[in-house]
Amino acid sequence: MLDIKFIRENTDFVKTCVKNKQLDPSVVDICLDLDEKKRKLIGEVENLRSLKNKYAQEKNIEKGKETKVKLQELEPKRTEIEKEFQAAAWKIPNIVSSDTVVGKNESENSIIRTWGKPTKFEFNPKDHMELGTKLGIIDTELGSRVAGARFNYLFGDAVLLQNTLHQFAIEVLLKKGFIPVIPPLMVKSEVMKKMSRHDPLEDRYYLKEDDSMLVGSAEHTLGPMHMNETLNEKDLPLRYFAYTSAFRREAGSYGKDTRGILRQHQFDKIEMESFTTPEDGLKEQDFIIEIQENLMQSLEIPYQVVSICTGDMGGPDFRQIDIESWMPGQNKYRETHTSDYMTDYQSRRLNTRVKVGQNTEFVHMNDATAFAMGRTIIAILENFQNEDGSVNVPKVLRKWMGKEKIKVNP
């Protein structure tokens, strides 16, 4: 959430940011109205408490009783108005960076730079499903029969390829100071709200009896690790990474990407999470994007770096940068990585602070993809395919893969 003082002092700017994120700016007025009522009520409560103490010292029992009754009447009202205020404040998204493009949807995202050129073949390239089926390493039909649509089985070399990507990421991220974590795959509903990742609820696998949900990313349980803590400046940046399954209903994606493993209800990801001082937050995002690019360059997969416009970015994001990798089977770039810089938007809700000198401030938070396994496997299969349907293993992965080529077993 945003600092209410910042909202009061920069109302027009905040409203513009809300509007640019394709949300209703009237939520700002509602929040400020509740803020005024809350402050007025707090003033009345504090005044009554002061009078109560005064009457106690004066041993004025009658006045003391009258004041106590008034306090008992106001306290529930104060509690209720504070709940209403928080609900309204949490509906206001983060402001955006000055270099974020104003746009309505993904069609207005802007390309920052590209690396490599789209892979060319002397034959008609196959998509990952044709390759994976022929190689016997991907089976979506079996996944559908057992679990339903948008589930799949991986076999043999696809499993080994996913494991080698994990090993490669571990090697790189450990050298960059990241701490490996195995986090829970479930998160309390109230914690997801603090992460501003609870909604849309229809996209979550919600367990009503537990008031919990399955994570849609390791970010959802990495981000709250320091909830209600005050960190030491000397310990920052704190960097973590986790390799987990993720679960999404993809409720808004009906009919999109139904072929293959690009968009699944269950998928595996390696996610990075970082906590920094406020002044280092933006620099940290650039550092993380550099890691993402180095990973893809090491795999020798062509990609483009994309600045996500206001209408396509997440509510908590101050700046969002994606990497889209070239996928010959679709003849287009598709998102494989995202990097989200949230400033103190999440940490203010989570109450995660850092002591800087004599002051205590909210930390700044970044989260980003190291590898989305399914999509990276698609990019490898499609970019490194041969005319006979075999697939060359990227050179950087061969020491873990133990082979140079994935081919049909005789």
DSSP string, 279-332: GGHHHHHHHHHHHHHHHHHHHT--EEEEEPPTTTS-TT-SEEEEEEEEETTTTE
Q: What pLDDT does residue 37 have?
A: 93
Helices 128-135, 373-383: crossing angle, 10 deg rounding: 90
8 Å CB contact between 286 and 249:
no
- Which helix (H) or strand (E) element contains residue 399? helix 398-401
Closest CA to 264 of 245, 282, 248: 248
Residue 102 burial by CB count (10 A; 0-12/13-18/19+): exposed, middle or buried? middle
Question: Hey, is 320 helix, strand or coil?
Answer: strand
Question: Hey, is 364 helix, strand or coil?
Answer: strand
Local confidence pLDDT in tens for the 410 residues of the chain: 999 999 999 999 999 999 999 999 999 999 999 999 999 988 888 888 888 888 788 888 888 888 888 888 888 888 899 999 999 999 999 999 999 999 999 999 999 999 999 999 999 999 999 999 999 999 999 999 999 999 999 999 999 999 999 999 999 999 999 999 999 999 999 999 999 999 888 889 999 999 999 999 999 999 999 999 999 999 999 999 999 999 999 866 666 777 889 989 999 999 999 999 999 999 999 999 999 999 999 999 999 999 999 999 999 999 999 999 999 999 999 999 999 999 999 999 999 999 988 899 999 999 999 999 999 999 999 999 999 999 999 999 999 999 999 998 76
Query: What gap in Å lies between CA 338 and CA 367, rounded to an integer?
Result: 8
Residue 312 burial by CB count (10 A; 0-12/13-18/19+): exposed, middle or buried? buried
Query: What gap in Å lies between CA 6 and CA 95, rounded to an integer?
Result: 11
Q: Which fold has domain 106-406?
A: BirA Bifunctional Protein; domain 2 (3.30.930)
Q: What pLDDT does residue 388 have?
A: 96
Its sign, for the CA torsion 256, 261, 265, 269, is negative
Cα distances (angstroms) measured from residue 307 to each of 99, 212, 214 = 9, 33, 29
Question: Hey, is 263 helix, strand or coil?
Answer: coil
Q: What pLDDT does residue 408 have?
A: 86
Q: What pLDDT does residue 254 have?
A: 65
Looking at residue 301, its amino acid is I
Looking at residue 254, its amino acid is Y
Query: What gap in Å lies between CA 292 and CA 295, rounded to an integer?
Result: 5
Residue 208's contacts (CB-CB under 8 Å, 6 or more residues apart) are: none
Residue 315 burial by CB count (10 A; 0-12/13-18/19+): exposed, middle or buried? middle
Query: What gap in Å lies between CA 264 and CA 51, rounded to an integer?
Result: 62
pTM: 0.93
Domain ranges of the chain: 4-89, 106-406
C-alpha triplet 92, 370, 269: angle, nearest 5°: 80
Reading the block at residue 278, the tokens are 């406020």
Given 1.10.472, 1.20.120, 1.10.3470, 1.10.287, which CATH number is that of 4-89? 1.10.287
Query: What gap in Å lies between CA 145 and CA 151, rounded to an integer?
Result: 9
Query: What gap in Å lies between CA 221 and CA 251, rounded to an integer?
Result: 22
Q: How far apart are the first and last CA of the chain?
A: 58
Whole-angstrom Cα Rg for the chain: 26
Reading the block at residue 359, the tokens are 């002051």
Query: What gap in Å lies between CA 223 and CA 370, rounded to an integer?
Result: 16
DSSP string, 199-248: -SGGGS-EEGGGTEEE-SSTHHHHGGGGTT-EEEGGGPSEEEEEEEEEE-
